[in-house]
Amino acid sequence: MFNVSGFRRIFIGEPMPDKNDPKYRERYEREVAAGKQFADATGISWLGARYIAVATAHRRTFMCAMVGLVFLFFVGNLYRLVSYSHVAPKGSYAVTMQDSLLKQRYLKHPNHVQSYDQATAK
């Protein structure tokens, strides 16, 4: 079953334990060992080491690639912002859309006598 106190700690929080505190030392060492084991099993540690090795060997190229990637994402977001801002036609607000739907329902109703504009003008 679920550990309620664990969820409470996740959402409310708990004071951050110091890794040198003897009360938390064993817990800290267990969590570090579990993290290292997970990283080794999934290959994250190898990937991280390779990433750092390439970044260290080719500093300028790596920095240009990272700045270029950030710039590319920024330009892509700016393009989407500009292109989609023109998609919505003028006057397509929620009130206008609701008014047109009510007008269609009113005109379909069999007992309407006068036009919709005259009925709403009163």
Q: Residue 67 falls within a domain, yes or no?
A: no
- Domain contains 122: yes
Judge whether 29 lies within some domain.
Answer: yes
Domain that holds residue 119: 91-122
For the CA atoms of 34, 39, 42, 45, the dihedral, rounded to the nearest 10 degrees, stands at -160
106 CB-near residues (< 8 Å, 6+ apart): 112, 116, 119
Could you tell me the pTM of the whole model? 0.44
* Structural tokens at position 95: 């009130």
Per-residue pLDDT of 37-50, as tens digits, reads 999 999 999 999 99
Number of domains into which the chain is organized = 2
Residue 69: pLDDT band with limits 50, 70, 90: very high
For residue 62, is it within any domain?
A: no
Q: Is residue 74 part of a domain?
A: no
Cα(31)–Cα(21) distance, integer angstroms: 15
